[in-house]
């Protein structure tokens, strides 16, 4: 058996002429984040969070720009952004619905909830609906095993979840485009 290597070194990076990392972001990171860490490397995760909070996801070009800002290798930014589920390396929907799939939630019926969402949204985990409204995620433990099953809808965690409750939550999500 042989391992197929990913062509990361030769993969073309989609770029645009306008930088993703703005002067305002750099000023904010310099003032608010860098002073909290002994090295610029230490600020990588909060910088990624801040960028994603503003843009919604983290393109490869932005990772390269963040690496230049922090003076660290681009590969370290890529490794971090692709290791943690909380970072999105592709555009996501207006609302992100993450169903916990770790052991407590699995034992308390997460599969039925996930299957219901698959049917309702007509997508698989890590996909976005055609109208761009929802992204479905399957997440690891949300730290609320005693109230499993749980989900994360955008930034809010919901415990003791049922299909009916989740439907109610989804039905009342605002349309961000209006």
**Site residues (CB under 6 A) for ligand FES?**
100, 102-105, 141-145, 148, 150
- Report the residue number, 64 or 101, with the smaller CB distance to ligand FES: 101
Q: CA 165, 171, 174, 178: dihedral to nearest 10 degrees? A: 170
- Report the residue number, 95 or 110, with the smaller CB distance to ligand FES: 110
Closest distance of CB 5 from ligand FES, Å: 34
Q: What residues contact 136, with CB distance under 8 A and at least 6 apart?
A: 97, 98, 99, 117, 118, 121, 123, 124, 125, 126, 127, 128
Closest distance of CB 122 from ligand FES, Å: 25
Closest distance of CB 149 from ligand FES, Å: 7
How far is the C-alpha of 152 from the C-alpha of 99, rounded, in Å?
A: 7
- Report the residue number, 144 or 153, with the smaller CB distance to ligand FES: 144
Closest distance of CB 59 from ligand FES, Å: 30
User: What does the block give as tokens for 52?
Assistant: 């994603």
């Amino acid at each position: 058996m042989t391992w197929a290597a990913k062509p990361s070194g030769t993969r073309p990076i989609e770029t645009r002429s306008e930088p993703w990392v703005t002067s305002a972001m750099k000023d904010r990171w310099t003032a608010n984040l860098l002073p909290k860490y002994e090295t610029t490397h230490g600020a990588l995760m909060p910088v990624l969070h801040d960028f994603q909070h503003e843009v919604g996801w983290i393109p490869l070009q932005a990772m390269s720009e963040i690496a230049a800002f922090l003076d660290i290798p681009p590969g370290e930014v890529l490794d971090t952004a692709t290791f943690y589920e909380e970072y999105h390396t592709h555009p996501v929907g207006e609302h992100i619905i993450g169903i916990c799939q770790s052991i407590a939630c699995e034992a308390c019926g997460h599969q039925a909830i996930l299957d219901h969402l698959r049917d309702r949204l007509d997508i698989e985990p890590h996909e976005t609906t055609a109208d761009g409204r929802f992204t479905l995620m399957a997440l690891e433990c949300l730290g609320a095993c005693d109230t499993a099953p749980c989900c994360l809808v955008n930034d809010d965690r919901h415990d003791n979840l049922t299909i009916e409750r989740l439907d109610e939550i989804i039905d009342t999500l605002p349309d961000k485009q209006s």
